[in-house]
């Protein structure tokens, strides 16, 4: 009866060199070395530092098990090929990650930590980073004043949670991965957004407020979509015709409003609240011209000058250069009081008006 011979994977006969990844069969072990049969390529050994770095892995191996290893020396003094189990595992893991990146496959990761820039995790023992900018809209931290400490507190809620992500970038030299959560929905979102056009009016609910604007979630128009709603952004400059310093003064979380789509770009919907309101600058252009005198109330001071409310939602600037100094400006004007100003410039399209104080003789 012919004896059944187990074939060793490295019997292919391909030439090997330092750095080659080989497959072999565990044939023997002792307290400080593991011996690998590489078929017609000889016998490999894992010992010394390479042995102790993966000691726990080696404990789980049995005679006959197939392993991958990396050649670190072609032949030592005893005639063995010196191998590294750890380096081979790392190379194989990076190759798998490259394949994940190329295929755009969605994977699940467990968040293990945070920093001010995003979330921390690992894939196959390789550190991975999920930046705040790559979080899905529903998980993006909604912090009104963009305070880093508050953002960090919001991110800490994700520790221990499992998230679905894609591999966005590989930083092999830094031994780090960059992940994206929002990338998993981009294809789906693109199909949904094809149903919308610039100029359309939508109705949605305010879901979050940040220092740069507000988030609004509205129903999708695609009946066959798995998503029942999507989220857009109203930038702070699109909230009102007047200068808005705090978005929370214009809208509240949970409020239902109508907004107009002004742009769809890079799978993001940008909306405007002010475009559905009457433009007060059109009115002032008809009523006033350069050289006219207009009465206005001082709203606030800045290093640039004084902001003057001349009509509801219309503010002009009396530039600091119209005064001898900041102190001179604050002596001649008081916040909350009204004065007469000469119109130096009106630019309705730029929403800009320059004023000069009319001083009493």
Task: State the DSSP string of 116-175.
Answer: TTEEEEEETTEEEEEEGGGS-GGGS---TT--HHHHHHHHGGGTT-EEEEEEEEEEGGGT
| Full set of structural domains in the chain with CATH | 9-89 (2.40.50.140), 104-185 (2.40.50.140), 197-276 (2.40.50.140), 280-357 (2.40.50.140)
pLDDT of residue 6: 45
| Sequence-ordered list of residues with C-beta below 8 angstroms from that of 274, at least 6 positions apart, any chain | 238, 239, 240, 241
Query: Smallest Cα–Cα separation from 309: which of 275, 273, 344, 336?
Result: 336
pLDDT band, residue 196 (cuts 50/70/90): confident
pLDDT band, residue 149 (cuts 50/70/90): confident
Whose structure tokens read 């003057």? 308
pLDDT of residue 2: 37
* pLDDT digits 0-9 by tens, 153-170: 889 999 999 999 988 888
- What would you report as the CA-atom Rg of the chain, rounded to the nearest whole angstrom? 33
pLDDT band, residue 145 (cuts 50/70/90): low
Q: Please give the order of strands across the beta sheet that includes 162-171.
A: 107-110, 162-171, 176-180, 126-131, 118-123, 113-115
> Would you say residue 106 has pLDDT above 80?
yes
The residue that leads in pLDDT, 3 or 56, is 56
Query: Smallest Cα–Cα separation from 301: which of 323, 281, 273, 276?
Result: 323
Q: What is the chain's mean pLDDT, rounded?
A: 85
Helix (H) or strand (E) holding 330: helix 326-332
* pLDDT digits 0-9 by tens, 12-40: 555 778 888 888 899 998 888 999 999 88
Q: Can you tell me the distance from the alpha carbon of 199 to that of 190, in angstroms, rounded to the nearest whole number?
A: 18
The residue that leads in pLDDT, 28 or 284, is 28
Counted residue by residue, the chain has a size of 361
pLDDT band, residue 114 (cuts 50/70/90): very high
3-class SS at 316?
strand
* pLDDT digits 0-9 by tens, 322-338: 999 999 999 999 999 99
């Amino acid at each position: 009866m012919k004896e059944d011979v187990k074939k060793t994977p490295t019997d292919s006969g391909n030439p090997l060199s330092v750095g080659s990844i080989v497959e072999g069969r565990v044939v023997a072990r002792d307290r400080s070395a593991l011996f690998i049969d590489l078929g017609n390529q000889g016998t490999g050994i894992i010992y010394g530092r390479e042995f102790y770095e993966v000691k726990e892995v080696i404990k789980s191996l049995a005679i006959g098990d197939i392993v991958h290893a990396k050649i670190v020396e072609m032949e030592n003094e005893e005639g063995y090929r010196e191998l590294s189990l750890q380096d081979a595992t790392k190379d194989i893991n990076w190759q798998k990650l490259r394949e994940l990146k190329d295929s755009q496959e969605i994977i699940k990761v467990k968040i293990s930590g945070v920093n001010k820039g995003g979330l921390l995790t690992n894939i196959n023992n390789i550190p991975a980073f999920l930046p705040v900018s790559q979080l899905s809209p529903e998980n993006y931290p909604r912090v009104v004043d963009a305070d880093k400490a508050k953002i960090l507190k919001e991110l800490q809620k994700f520790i221990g949670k499992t998230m679905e992500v894609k591999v966005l970038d590989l930083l092999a030299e830094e031994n780090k991965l960059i992940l994206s959560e929002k990338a998993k929905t981009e294809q789906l979102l693109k199909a949904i957004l094809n149903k919308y056009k610039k100029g359309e009016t939508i109705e949605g609910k305010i879901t979050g407020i940040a220092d740069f604007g507000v988030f609004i979630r509205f129903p999708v128009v695609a009946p066959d979509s798995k998503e029942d709603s999507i989220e857009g952004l109203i930038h702070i400059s699109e909230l009102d015709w007047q200068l808005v310093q705090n978005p929370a003064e214009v809208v509240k979380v949970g409020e239902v409003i109508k907004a107009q789509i002004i742009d769809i770009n890079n799978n993001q919907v940008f909306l405007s609240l002010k475009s559905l309101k009457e433009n007060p600058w059109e009115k002032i252009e008809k009523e006033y011209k350069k050289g006219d005198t207009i009465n206005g109330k001082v709203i606030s001071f800045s290093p640039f000058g004084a902001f003057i409310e001349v009509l509801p939602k219309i503010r002009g600037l009396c530039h600091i250069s119209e005064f001898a100094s900041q102190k001179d400006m604050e002596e001649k004007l008081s916040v909350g009081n009204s004065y007469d100003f000469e119109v130096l410039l009106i630019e309705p399209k730029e929403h800009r008006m320059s004023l000069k104080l009319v001083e009493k003789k």
